[in-house]
Amino acid sequence: MPGQALIAALPLALVKLVGGLVTVWLLGRIGLATATRFTRRTTTTFDDFVIKTAHKALVPMLSMGVVTWAWEGIPYEGIGDLIVTALTGLVTTVVIVQAANRILVRLLTSTLRKLAGDDDTTGPEILAALKPMLRAVVWVLGGVIYMQSLGVPLGALWALLSAGGIGAGLALQKPVAEFFEYIYILLDKPFRSGDFLHVGNSNTWARVEQVGIHSTRLRSVDGELVVMTNSSLTSQTLSNYTAMERRRRIYRFGVTYGTPPQVLKRIPTMAREIVDGVKDAEFDRCHFVEFGASSLDFELCYNIPTSNYVQALDAQQQVNVALVQRFAEQGIEFAFPTRTLYLNHADQSGETNSTREPGQGA
């Protein structure tokens, strides 16, 4: 009778199940230990990754093979076969999807490391942004394939996914564009968190606080938080002052027209001595460059080997104060725009003659 045959087959099926699972477990342990012994002799970590991924995939799949083998010895047809078949397919799909995710993440990590460099911190940021999306795509594909293996009609599902994909694409067009701008920022590295920027079109001076998937947060010099989308930020002209290795200062100063020629010759030498006397300044040049409207103009150029804005201002202030002090000691007068008015006495006709000429600066 069917019931007696089922009862008689259960002990053998149970022995197959337990024996097979124990065998799979032992073979997995022995195989992993043997393979690990060989991989320890190599310097690369790729072989370790392959061994661990294969072990995590093969043991569950072989275990489900044992379950199927043990179930085949039971003379029972019906819902039990469907359950075993569905369970076997489900476990196999989950194992394959997990293995595929590990392999894809490994390949993505290796590629980002080559692009960004081993010491770069952008690789983990990009990986953290792409990993959830990558895993979601693989899981969706795995689920669709599993449903198809069970004979579920997928025509309506594909139509629904297509329509939903078009709608989602239209709705998420801007967020997706901002996401790829975020990837561009991480890969191309026009700026990073902590950099001080000047955003040209909006004339914003600010320090980068955080680069997000959709927007970047900036802290302006006045203290307010400025939030700009990644696309609007990268579409403007950016000046990154943190990337500067040195700052150059070029400006002019003028002395009065009454300054003797021998003194004019000494001014560039004075400027060199002053700049050389400042710790954080490197002299470049100083020349008498122009006859101004009310002054004899000199152009001074020097470098400050730092990207720190405050430190550069401190050095510039020392140069300016020392220049004023030296000129005061030498009796050299700085010029400023002035006009001198000459008045003549009235002539016999009662008219007054006057002339106005550019005068000497004080």
- pLDDT for res 319: 95
> Which class is 247-330 in CATH?
alpha beta
Distance CA 333, CA 324 (A): 9
- pLDDT for res 5: 61
Helix (H) or strand (E) holding 268: helix 261-276
Q: Hey, is 319 helix, strand or coil? A: helix
| CATH domain 189-240 topology | SH3 type barrels. (2.30.30)
Domain segments of the chain as ranges: 2-173, 189-240, 247-330
Query: From the first residue on, what is the mean pLDDT of each consecutive set of 10 residues in the chain (362 residues)?
Result: 60 79 84 80 76 83 82 69 80 87 82 63 66 82 80 70 70 75 80 86 85 87 88 86 85 93 95 92 94 93 88 93 95 84 63 46 40
Q: Hey, is 292 helix, strand or coil? A: coil
pTM comes to 0.49
- pLDDT for res 345: 64
Beta strands per DSSP E along the chain: 196-199, 204-211, 215-220, 225-229, 238-240, 247-255, 282-291, 296-304, 339-343, 354-358
* CA count, 13 A, side-chain hemisphere, 47: 12
Phi, psi angle pair for 169, to nearest 5° = -65, -40
Distance linking the first and last C-alpha atoms of the chain:
126
